C-alpha cells in the first residue's frame, strides 16, 4: 500500500527500534529515556550508536507531531532528551 506521507510509512514499518507502547505519551522523562535506551541497545536494525538511534527516534516523534503536540508533553519529551544524554554518559 502506498502511503501519502513517508513519515507514516516510517512510523508503521520501521524496525529500527522496538518501542514500548505509548512511550512518547508518558509523563516521566526519565522513564521515557530509560525505555528508549533499552530499545536502542537491543535493536539489531539501527545504523548508528544507541544514543544516536534513541535521540533520532525522539526527535522524529517531536518533529512529526509538530503543532499538534501538547506544549506540556513537548516539554517532557525535551527533558527526556537531556535524560538520554545523561544516562548514556554513565
Euclidean distance between CA atoms 56 and 4, whole angstroms: 22
57-63 long-range contacts, CB within 8 A, separation 24+: 57/16, 57/17, 57/19, 58/24, 58/32, 58/84, 60/7, 60/10, 61/24
Segment of 1-5, 12-16, 24-28, 60-64 carrying the highest mean pLDDT = 24-28
- 45-74 tens-digit pLDDT: 778 899 999 999 899 899 988 889 999 999
Q: What are the grid coordinates assigned to 87, written together?
A: 544516562
User: Contact at 8 Å (CB) between 54 and 17?
Assistant: yes
Hey, where are the domains in the chain?
A: 49-90
Amino acid at each position: 500500500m502506498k502511503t501519502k506521507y513517508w513519515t507514516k510509512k516510517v512510523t508503521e514499518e520501521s524496525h529500527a527500534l522496538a518501542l514500548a507502547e505509548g512511550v512518547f505519551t508518558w509523563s516521566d522523562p526519565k522513564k521515557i529515556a530509560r525505555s528508549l535506551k533499552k530499545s536502542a541497545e537491543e535493536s539489531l536494525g539501527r545504523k548508528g550508536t544507541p544514543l544516536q538511534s534513541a535521540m533520532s527516534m525522539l526527535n522524529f516523534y517531536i518533529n512529526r507531531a509538530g503543532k499538534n503536540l501538547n506544549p506540556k508533553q513537548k516539554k517532557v519529551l525535551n527533558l527526556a532528551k537531556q535524560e538520554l544524554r545523561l544516562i548514556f554518559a554513565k
